[in-house]
A and B are shown apart, each in its own frame.
Chain A
Amino acid sequence: MSTKKNPLRIGIIGLGRMGLMHAAIFNSLPNSTVVAAVDPSMFPAKPLGSLNPSIKIYKNISKMFDKENIDGVVIASPVGYHVENANECIKRGVPFLMEKPLSLSAKDALPLVDGLENTALPNMIGYMARNIDSFAKGKEILDSGCLGNIQTVKGTVYVSQLFKKGKGWRYDPKIAGGGVLLSQGSHLIDLLTWYFGSVARVNSDILSVYSPGIEDFAHVMLNFESGLKGWIDASWSVRFKRKMELNIDILGDNGSLIITDDTLQLFLDNENGGWPAGKSYFSANDLFTGVYVDIGGAKFTYQAQKFLNAIENNKTVEPDIKQGVHVQQVVDASYESASKMGEPVVINLLNI
């Protein structure tokens, strides 16, 4: 990477699948290079360090900060260590991009919000679905106001993942913090709050089939602060969904918008906001734009570029930790509601 001119020096916390992928992306982009990685376990940290000696391996984050000059950190440790690692970044004044979900509960993450309160430190939460071409285009269409008054919204997220009792941390409520709603449903909640603002109240029901204490199905009614009502449905135990599939269906008084991972379909009664009456359809081909490097999906490259841009210009970037906390609040409130037979639970809104 000697050809790069003054690249930003990135440290990676956690060398699981996501950590490795982020490391490869940041190491490939022209304006950044990975100089250090933190992981207490030997594999894959040790082989990585021996195959690429320019990435220094450390057992913990403070040792890395003591030895290296770091411009930005990617936190991809197990969820239970997210807050601790982020606090260390705040203490050292180093911008960070944190993998989702933020923490085991919103309450755990509140010290972070306080810690960031009076700083301009760039901080980002890895809800990358905002960078999927179709959902980014969806935001642009919604912001044009072409649908008129939004009447209702529904969202689904499905994947074929679990059909027997789950093994590993993902299915241990104490370590994972939740099931499909936290793991995959949180992407959907992030997209909907990006589109429509904060959620003020939820009613929810969840169903655990395979793993005690971890939901395999979740159904949540959302009441947004704006007054908009909608609902989401999430499951990782449905058939024939090889990859996670997100779907958002929006109804306005001038038409409808259906967004999937691959496609986007707009229908308008009347021309509005620069969009024509009738049907407008975008396929994956229409929406595709090449990226400098694709390792695990263009959405992660866009995310990395936004983070680097925020560091270079010392400015805020979205979605930030505060927005991540709100997503977490919606998830927490959904669990609480489900535990009370679907009673409404009011969310104590952060100013996002």
Chain B
Amino acid sequence: MLKLDKIILGHNPLFGVDHLNQARGNDKQLKFENKSALADVLRFAHSKGIKAMMMSTHPRAQVVLDIVANDPVLKDDFTIYPLLPYIVKYVRQANEKGMMNLLLDILSKTSMNQKFNMMFSGVKGVLGQNVHELIKLLIDIEMLPFKGHKLGAIFLHDALTDLAVGLGTDSVLDAFRDHVESKFDVPAGLITKNVPLLRGKLDDRGWSNYLIMASFNKTGFFVNPSLEETTKEVRRPGMYFIPMSTMAAGAISPDEAFSFLGEFETINSVVVGMSQKKHISETVDIINKYIKG
């Protein structure tokens, strides 16, 4: 039985992402340029029982990780759920430099020891002989900022999960899972925008009791192909499921959001993006009322 934190703080509001209204996200990004405001929110959330956070390797992530590492309370009692990789950065670089140069750039960030390994595995990976070795190396590079932190699970970004499934190259998901579980000793999770398609593929590959995170909310916002089909999959056993976009990017109230999610016995953890103290207090109470951890 997988034990995950019941409430995982989403990073979007702290990093300036707002799916309903980018202008509002931009304002938040400005607000949290101030480091002490960010630390204050994390400490407050912790005092209310939120002891976990989802985090990509966004440029702001290092700030958050430093706050956690240097805080007397947070440092031993705050779990990070890394989300790999910080895709926006790579998308831009891929556009500008091309895929090959992007890959070489990433690999150049490795340590000497890793470089040595790369000579044998990475280069072969590039040539298509051993792609899975290359994937391991890329995971290790992305995980560098999280060294020394308490980890809950490591998630693969939906852009890569869905790309791998779409391209019919889903064996790379096996490589991701195997490396995360053996090297970091935490569950490997997959984020997706297409729950039914992904589940079909993982079942075909013989996966069981796997961990998936995806948008799931009462209004069906960001839920593909439909709320109805995804609901069926969320009810179907064989998967640990963590919903995100739980409040439909702020379109529905916390009570509406979590009373809906509370109806699913399979849901024991939720990701919620919150950045205001009042909102955190209210929402934690509501989640505890409806969601069985």
Where the two chains meet, the residues of A that have a C-beta atom closer than 8 Å to any C-beta of B are 1, 15-17, 20-21, 23-25, 27-28, 34, 41-44, 46-52, 54-55, 161, 166-171, 240-243, 245, 260-263, 283-285, 288, 290-296, 298
Q: Which residues of B contact A50 (CB under 8 A)?
A: 128-129, 131
Interface membership of B208, Cβ < 8 A: no
Within 8 A of A (CB), among B132-167: 134, 159, 162-163, 165-167
Identify the closest chain A residue to B29 (Cβ).
A240
Between A and B, 14 residue pairs with Cβ closer than 8 Å are A16-B94, A20-B167, A28-B166, A43-B100, A47-B131, A47-B134, A51-B167, A260-B23, A283-B251, A284-B221, A284-B251, A285-B248, A290-B226, A291-B225
Q: Give the residues in chain A near B129, CB-CB below 8 Å.
A: 50
Complex contact A17–B167 (CB within 8 A): no
Chain B hits for A27, CB < 8 A = 166-168
Contacts of A293 in B (CB 8 A): 162, 166, 194, 197, 224-225
Q: Across the A-B interface, give the 10 residue pairs with the lowest CB-CB distance, nearest first.
A: A24-B166, A46-B128, A168-B96, A51-B169, A52-B168, A294-B193, A285-B251, A17-B94, A240-B26, A50-B128
Per the bound structure, the CA–CA distance linking A130 and B169 in Å amounts to 30
Q: Which of B29, B99, B193 has the largest count of A CB atoms less than 10 A from its CB?
A: B99
A17 touches B91 (CB 8 A): yes
A52 touches B167 (CB 8 A): yes
Closest-CB distance, B220 to chain A (whole angstroms): 7
Task: Give the CA-CA distance A210 to B99 in the complex, in Å.
Answer: 24
A170 nearest CB neighbor, chain B only: B96
Q: Are A48 and B193 in contact (CB under 8 A)?
A: no
A309 shortest CB reach to chain B, Å: 17
Q: Choose one: A20, A52, A171; the contact of B96 (CB below 8 Å).
A: A171
Task: Assess the B20–A15 pair: CB atoms within 8 A.
Answer: no
Q: Which of chain B's residues 1-49 have a Cβ closer than 8 Å to chain A?
A: 16-17, 19-23, 25-26, 29-30
B74 is an interface residue with CB less than 8 A from chain A: no
- Tell whether, in the assembled complex, residue A240 and residue B222 are in contact, meaning their CB atoms are under 8 Å apart: no
Bound complex: CA of A143 vs CA of B104, how far in Å? Answer: 49
Among A168, A262, A298, the residue within 8 A (CB) of B98 is: A168
Specify the chain A residue showing the minimal Cβ separation from B161.
A295
**Chain A nearest CB, measured from B204 CB (Å):** 11
A20 to B16, CA, bound (A): 28
Least CB separation from A28: chain B residue: B166
Within B77-125, the residues touching A (CB, 8 Å) are 88, 91-92, 94-101, 103, 125
Residue tally, chain B, CB below 8 Å to A? 55
Cα of A283 to Cα of B194 in the assembled complex, Å: 22
Task: Give the interface of B toward A (CB within 8 A).
Answer: 16-17, 19-23, 25-26, 29-30, 88, 91-92, 94-101, 103, 125-129, 131, 134, 159, 162-163, 165-169, 171-172, 193-194, 197, 219-227, 248-249, 251
Which one, B17, B22, B167, B225, contacts A261 given CB within 8 A? B22
CB neighbours (8 Å) of B134 from chain A are 47
> Which of A240, A245, A291 lies in contact with B30, CB distance below 8 A?
A240
* Cβ-defined contact, B21 with A284, below 8 A: yes
Instruction: Report chain B residues within 8 Å CB of A283.
Output: 20-21, 251
Query: Once bound together, how far apart are the Cα atoms of A170 and B97, in whole Å?
Result: 8
Q: Are the CB atoms of B163 and A20 closer together than 8 Å?
A: yes
Chain A residues near B131 (CB-CB < 8 A): 47, 50-51
* A170 contact set on B, CB distance < 8 A: 95-96
A169 touches B128 (CB 8 A): no
Kindly state the separation between the CA atoms of A41 and B101 in the bound complex, as whole angstroms.
11
**Best-surrounded residue of B25, B101, B167 (most CB of chain A within 10 A):** B167
User: Contacting A294 at CB < 8 Å: which of B97, B162, B248?
Assistant: B162
B residues less than 8 Å from A288 (CB atoms): 220-222
Whole-angstrom distance between the alpha carbons of A122 and B53 in the complex? Answer: 48
Shortest Cβ distance from A14 into chain B, in angstroms? Answer: 10
Q: Knowing that A290-B225, A291-B224, A295-B162 touch, tell me 11 more A-B residue pairs with CB under 8 angstroms.
A: A28-B197, A47-B169, A50-B131, A51-B131, A169-B96, A171-B96, A284-B20, A290-B226, A292-B225, A293-B197, A295-B194
Query: Contacts of A21 on B, CB cut-off 8 Å?
Result: 163
Min CB gap B96→A, angstroms: 4
Question: Judging by beta carbons under 8 Å apart, are B17 and A242 in contact?
Answer: yes
Knowing A285-B249, A295-B193 are in contact, say whether A46-B127 is a contact too (CB < 8 A): yes
